[in-house]
Each structure stands twice: as C-alpha cells, then as structure tokens.
C-alpha cells in the first residue's frame, strides 16, 4: 500500500435530497469527508445510510444536491468515473460473484478501475497479504465456498484492487461474528494508516467507533450529529435508535 500514502481522497455532498418514488430517503444531507480520515456514518434501520453510501460513490444519482470528489463537481458522472477518481464502494451484502474464483473476484476490482495486466498483478501482490489465509491460499476456490467473514474480506480486497483513495463500506459487519468484524476493521485501520480515506456505514456503533475520528449520525433522512467521534456530544448522539457506544 506504499503508493497510497498522502493520497487520501475527499468526497463531499451538499444539500442532498433523495426520493424513491414516494419515499423521502434523504432530506437535505451535507457531509464533507476530509482526506485521510476515518469516518463512521451511523444510524438506525431506514435512516438513509445505504442511500447516502451509494450517492457518495456515484452508484445512485441524488434527486437534488451536489456531489464533489477532490473539490470537483461530479454529481452527474457515472459510477465508473467515480472508481477512476478513486472512490470505491464495498456494497452491503458484498455482491461477490459466487461462482467465480476468489482470484477472479479480486481481479474484477482492478478491471473496474481500467488498469493493465502488469499493474493488475502488482495490485494483487499488494492486496493478498491483507487477506485471510483462506483467500490467500484458496485463490482458485469459488468465492461462494468462503465463510461469511472471508467473503467480506474478499469484498474489501476487491475494492482495494481498484486502488481506492476513498473507500466507502456499507455495513461491513452485517451478519459477522465479533471476532471476524475485528479482522475486517483491522484491515480498514491498515488501509487508513496507509493514507486511504475510510468511510464506514454501520447500524451498530461498537467496532466503527473504535477506529473513527469523525462521526455522522443519520436519523430519518437527516443528519442529527456531525463532528468528532470522541466528544461527549458524539456519545449523546449515539443514543438515537439505540446505536450503542464506543466501549
Ligand atoms: P438504511 O441504510 O439506513 O437502512 P436506506 O437508505 O436503505 O436506509 O433507506 C432509507 C429509506 O428509503 C427507507 O425508508 C427505505 O425503505 C427506503 N428505500 C430504500 N431503497 C428503496 C428503494 N429501492 N425503493 C423504495 N424505497 C427505498
């Protein structure tokens, strides 16, 4: 990950309103993710977290409002253009290709970022050491045969293959045992230490709050807290929707 040092990207949204048919999912959300930070976006079920994650990464275009990547307006750009700008989403539910091999899933991350074969193999050599043994040693296995935790790590690995400057993860701990969540967060901590900007979207606070320096709390489509993750006010904000606290 040496080449990602000092390369943390920024992504910002302003005045975001998003509607799905009649459902108002986000109602005037602004968020400015600073380069190299580790940000947690927390909120109860239905708060609008997934919608925000997808808008931050260009997967979904907002009904209203702007999206800026590294200070440049990007609201109408394609998802691929976001990946090329270094903004990569690890979606909820991982979305791996279960019948493809572990290695093929990893390489697909680099295809998304349009890189050549030599660069792709360089990235693979950098990414594999961050992966659990089952991924490192099981590159020819079908991805579907990995455990849930290993699949989540593979989804993170696939995103790393795109050489992200900003990585956004939608509920990476969903359905995983605490010890496996620790492993996922260890890798996110390593990525962040190498300079990559990390944004984790979670419903449960505990793991994210161990790493996050910045916190945003969403509730019913609006931001109810945005600031330091370590302030007393942050602890208070986590009481929304019984999100839990940092301990
Ligand atoms: P969270 O990730 O915090 O659970 P979401 O962003 O998934 O919240 O959803 C926010 C709101 O938008 C919810 O009321 C949800 O039911 C609604 N919603 C999400 N996706 C769709 C969709 N594709 N069609 C209609 N409503 C949706």
In the chain, the domains with their CATH numbers are: 11-94+164-243 (3.40.50.300)
- Compute the average pLDDT of residues 189-214: 94
137 CA distance to ligand 1 middle (Å): 38
Q: Which residues of 80-91 are buried (b: 16+ CB within 10 A; e: fewer)?
A: eebbebbbbbbb
pTM of the model: 0.92
Q: Is the CB of 50 under 6 A from ligand 1?
A: yes
> How distant, in Å, are the alpha carbons of 52, 201, 215, 222, 228 from that of 238?
18, 14, 10, 14, 12
pLDDT of residue 246: 44
CB 163 within 8 A of CB 123: yes
**Average confidence (pLDDT) over 111-132:** 88
DSSP per position, 100-144: SBHHHHHHHHHHHTT--HHHHHHHHHHHGGGS-HHHHH-TTSBGG
Would you say 123 and 111 are in contact if contact means Cβ atoms under 8 Å apart? no
pLDDT classification of 243: cutoffs 50, 70, 90: low
25 Cβ closer than 6 Å to some ligand 1 atom: yes
Residue whose CA lies nearest to ligand 1 atom number 16: 46
Task: Report, as an integer, the average pLDDT of 187-215.
Answer: 94
Cα(221) to ligand 1 centroid in Å equals: 10
pLDDT band at 1 (very low <50, low <70, confident <90, very high): very low
What pLDDT was estimated at residue 247?
A: 44
Of residues 75 and 90, the one with the higher pLDDT is 90
- Is the shortest distance between the CB of 18 and ligand 1 below 6 Å? no
Tens-digit pLDDT profile for residues 156-193: 999 999 999 999 999 999 888 888 899 899 999 999 99
Note the pLDDT tens digit of each residue in 15-52: 999 999 989 999 999 999 999 999 999 999 999 999 99
Return the pLDDT at 244.
60
Structure-token pair, residue 73 = 């307006």
| pLDDT attached to residue 115 | 81
Cβ of 44 less than 6 Å from ligand 1: no
Does the C-beta of 63 come closer than 6 Å to ligand 1? no
What is the atom index within ligand 1 of the atom nearest the CA of 21?
A: 25
For residues 210 and 114, which has the higher predicted lDDT (pLDDT)? 210
Distance 18 CA to ligand 1 centre (A): 10
Task: Give 48 Cα–ligand 1 centroid separation in angstroms.
Answer: 6
- Residue 241 pLDDT: 61
* C-beta 51 within 6 A of ligand 1: yes
- Across the chain, mean pLDDT equals 90
* Ligand 1 neighbour 49 (Cβ under 6 A): yes
**Is 45 close to ligand 1, i.e. is its CB under 6 Å away?**
yes
Spacing, Cα 45 to ligand 1 middle (Å): 9
Task: Say if residue 65's pLDDT is above 50.
Answer: yes
Identify the residue whose C-alpha is closest to ligand 1 atom 25.
20
In the chain, the percentage of residues whose pLDDT exceeds 90 is 68
């Amino acid at each position: 990950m040496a080449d990602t040092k000092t390369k943390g990207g920024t992504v910002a949204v302003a005045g975001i309103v998003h509607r799905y048919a009649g459902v108002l999912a986000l109602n005037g959300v602004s968020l400015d993710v600073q380069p190299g930070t580790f940000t947690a976006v927390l909120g109860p079920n239905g708060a609008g977290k997934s919608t925000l994650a997808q808008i931050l990464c260009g997967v979904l275009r907002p009904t209203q409002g702007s999206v800026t990547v590294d200070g440049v307006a990007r609201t109408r750009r394609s998802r691929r253009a976001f990946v090329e700008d270094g903004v990569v989403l690890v979606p909820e539910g991982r979305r791996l290709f279960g019948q493809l091999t572990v290695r093929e899933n990893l390489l697909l991350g680099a295809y998304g970022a349009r890189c050549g074969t030599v660069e792709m193999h360089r990235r693979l050599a950098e990414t594999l050491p961050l992966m659990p043994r089952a991924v490192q040693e099981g590159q020819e296995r079908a991805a579907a045969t990995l455990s849930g935790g290993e699949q989540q790590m593979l989804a993170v690995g696939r995103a790393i293959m795109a050489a992200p400057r900003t990585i956004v993860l939608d509920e990476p701990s969903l359905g995983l045992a605490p010890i496996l969540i620790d492993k996922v967060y260890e890798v996110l901590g390593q990525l962040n230490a190498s300079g990559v900007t990390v944004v984790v979207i979670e419903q449960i606070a505990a793991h994210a709050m161990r790493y996050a320096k910045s916190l945003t709390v969403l509730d019913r489509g609006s931001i109810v807290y945005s600031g330091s993750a370590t302030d007393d006010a942050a602890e208070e904000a986590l009481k929304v929707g019984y999100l839990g606290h940092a301990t």
